Each structure stands twice: as C-alpha cells, then as structure tokens.
Structure 1
Amino acid sequence: MIPMRTGSEPTTARSALRARFWLSVWGLVWAIFGTAAFALVGRPGWAAACGVLWLVVTVDMTVIVKHMREGPHYQPGRNIPPYRPPESGPR
C-alpha cells in the first residue's frame, strides 16, 4: 500500500516538542558539565566552546517551552489528525 499524500504536509506538520525538550535538557546538562570540567583542567578554548553550546541549548529550550505554552492552536494535540483526508477516491 502506498501512503497517500495530500500536499498540505508542510502546513500541518507537527513537532515532537516533548522529545525536543528532553533532548535539550540532556544537552544542557552535558554543556554545563563540559564547561565546568574544561575550566577546571585549564582548557579555556574547550570551556568557551562548551559555554557557547550552553547558550545555544538554553535559547533552544526557551523556544521549545514557548511553543509548548502556546497550546494546540500552534501545536495540534493527539486528537487532531495531521492532514485533511482526501475529498475523492484514487485517481
């Protein structure tokens, strides 16, 4: 069976925000650990790189939480289908 495309996938696409959030938490923990560890062993370049990564992950988490709080208008729930069913049968 070939999956049917409706052509509206980009406008009805959904993102797994909870998964993105927890992956960001994991990245944040490692970025903080890396910044601290490299700063303690005297590697300022690697500590700065981890610090930049820490900043990027923090901004990403902020955007993710913002999208999660916007609610189902911007992020459809599980009960909303991902696309409109086709009006007619196969061509």
Structure 2
Amino acid sequence: MRDPRTDPTRAPVSRARSGTIGRRFPRTGTEPVTARSPLRLRLLLAAVFLPLFLAGTALFGVWAAGSDAGDSPGRGPLILLAVVCGVLALTALVDLRVVLRRLRRERGAAR
C-alpha cells in the first residue's frame, strides 16, 4: 500500500504559503520526511558561492603551480586548498541544479 505523503506519482505541493510564521500543517511526527527547505535562499547561496569557489580553485591551483620548494606556504597545502575549493564548487553546482529542478517542477504544478 502506498503512503500518500511519500508517493512519487503524487502532485507536488505548492510552496505559495510560507511556513516561517506558524505551522502550515498540524504536527504529524514526520517532519524530517516532509521537511521543506527554503529553495530561494539555497538558490542565492549556490549562485553566490559557485563562482567564488571556482575562483578559489583557479587561484590556489595557479599559486601551487608557481610555487618553489622553499616557498611558504608550500605546494602541498596549496594543492589541498585547490582540491577543497573544487569539491565545494562541485557541491554548489549540484545544489544549484537540484534547486532549479525543484523550482521548475513546482512552477509546473502551479499551472
């Protein structure tokens, strides 16, 4: 038997009403399953930090390529910083795509 709250074939719920003031629905004990994230804020954060992390990846990569053996910081920490920035940029890109897909799906359901 299908659960109507988690059925993938059901129509998405509109986000027209904000849940910041009061509860949108009575407490059912399933909040972690049905929790909603603020998609517009996630969109803004991903759009701001994706270029910053890409710039950090490029900056630390170029800096590591131009560093010599006696330089401080050394080549290893700079490569590590470039990799960390690259992973964070990839995470921001994936989150940006997920948020855009969810917003597009909700716009389609509102018609």
Q: Is 55-64 or 11-20 further displaced after alignment?
A: 11-20
* Residue number in structure 2 paired with 1:67: 102
- Find the aligned partners of 2:54 and 2:86 in 1 and give their Cα distance: 7
Equivalent residue in structure 2 for 1:7, among 20, 27, 42: 27
Give 1:70 shift. 0.6
Q: Which deviations, in whole Å up to 9, do the C-alpha atoms of 1:48-91 show, x marking residues without a partner?
A: 111111111111111111110111587x8xxxxxxxxxxxxxxx
Report the TM-score when normalising by structure 2.
0.54
Q: Is 41-50 or 7-16 further displaced after alignment?
A: 7-16
- Find the aligned partners of 1:48 and 1:41 in 2 and give their Cα distance: 13
* Residue number in structure 1 paired with 2:15: none
- Find the aligned partners of 1:44 and 1:27 in 2 and give their Cα distance: 20
Across the aligned residues of Structure 1 and Structure 2, the Cα RMSD in angstroms comes to 2.7
Report the TM-score when normalising by structure 1.
0.64
Q: Percent identity between the aligned chains?
A: 32
List structure 1 runs of 4+ shifted beyond 4 angstroms.
none
1:27 corresponds to which letter in structure 2?
F
* Residue number in structure 1 paired with 2:44: 22
- Find the aligned partners of 1:46 and 1:64 in 2 and give their Cα distance: 27
RCO greater where, 1 or 2, for CA within 8 Å and sep 6 or more?
A: 1
Structure 1: state its 5+ residue gaps. 77-91
Equivalent residue in structure 2 for 1:54, among 66, 84, 89: 89
Give 1:41 shift. 0.9
